[in-house]
Amino acid sequence: MRKTVKWLGLTILFIAIIFIGKYAYDMYHSLDGLHKGEKAINIPKNKASEISAEEPPKWEGKERVNILLMGADSRGAENGDIPRSDTLMIVSVDPVTKKATLFSILRDTWVKIPGHGEDRINAAFAYGGSNLAVQTVSNFTGLEIQYYVYTDFLGFIALVDEIGGIDLDVEKDMNYEDAWDQHKFDIHLKKGYQHLDGEKALQYVRFRHDASSDFTRTERQRKFIMAVADKVKSTSNLLKLPKIISSVDPYIDTNLTVSNMIKLGALGFQVKNNGVDGQQLPPQDLLKEARIGGAQVLTANSDEVKAFIQDTLEKQVAPDPTTAPTTNPNSVSMKDDGTKKEAESAH
């Protein structure tokens, strides 16, 4: 009897080792495929920026990490059209407090783009790809952005479908049609709590054709991203994570190495939903509407935006009065151009 139990235990252990080994192997190769460089982005070489954008700073693992998420509209790329970043978000995570802020950047914000004068912030990606977008957003916000993740519409759809869709409350009826792409990405959603597959989810996060336009759209995007993050943490999706990553591989690019993906993944699972704050950039009270070159755009004083971001992050890392104080000298990672690079210790 003891011998049977012993062999049964050894058999289970052997199977577990094989399963874990295969999972680790599949995970590594899935993650490794995401790092493609600019070759993954459909920017015609003759139209891409000739200016070499700065390489993002390195992340050592202890200071705040900032990741630029870019959702691009690549429709028409097969005809040589240059994609523009349809969505810009910064995920800012403090590895000490395990709290995060999700900043949504209004795409019509008028900014300086290195080497290209002034334009809407979403044009930076079209001018020079991910690195130029990182540099532009970093200059505007004062945040040191270490990493970027880029995807297009198809990658978004694939991700949502692979995790089993999202159950969400749609706040209003949403309807919009566009013949430019043969109605492939028309929007037709009914108000109410419902299950959204990839295509319906894309409609939800893209809709902006109402009185508040991009303002409420960025709110919906933050709400949806948080719902996706919560769904990925489920046991069933954790087990099939390599398959999920492989499904979006053709549509994703990032400058993250496999080791940093693993470190950030572990950090992400420690961030609780109530530890995520959502903010719009520029904030409403700093925005001004303007007409430049015949186009309606949004302007804001960059120094005031940087001060708002710094204040937001410093409030987030303030010690909880119910817990012992934690010294966290590197919580607010800012650039040196007139804003704090690091929040100095109080002692």
Q: What's residue 165's pLDDT? A: 95
Report the distance separating Cα 256 and Cα 148, nearest Å. Answer: 7
Q: What's residue 273's pLDDT? A: 60
Q: What's residue 116's pLDDT? A: 92
Q: Which pairs from 18-24 meet CB under 8 Å and 24+ separation? A: 23/242
Q: What's residue 78's pLDDT? A: 56
Report the distance separating Cα 53 and Cα 131, nearest Å. Answer: 6
Task: Note the CATH number of domain 33-316.
Answer: 3.40.630.190
Question: Are 88 and 74 spatial neighbours (Cβ–Cβ below 8 Å)?
Answer: no
- What is the number of other CB atoms lying within 10 angstroms of the CB of residue 268? 15
Q: What's residue 280's pLDDT? A: 93
In this predicted model, what pLDDT tens digit does every residue of 4-39 receive, in sequence order?
A: 555 555 555 555 555 455 445 455 555 555 655 544
Domain ranges for the chain, please list them: 33-316
With a cut of 50, list the residues of the chain below it in pLDDT: 19, 22-23, 25, 38-52, 321-331, 338-347
In this predicted model, what pLDDT tens digit does every residue of 138-189 receive, in sequence order?
A: 999 999 999 998 888 888 899 999 999 999 999 999 998 877 667 778 899 9
Q: What's residue 239's pLDDT? A: 76
42-69 exposure pattern, b = at least 16 Cβ within 10 A, e = fewer:
ebeeeebbeeebeebbebeeebbbbbbb
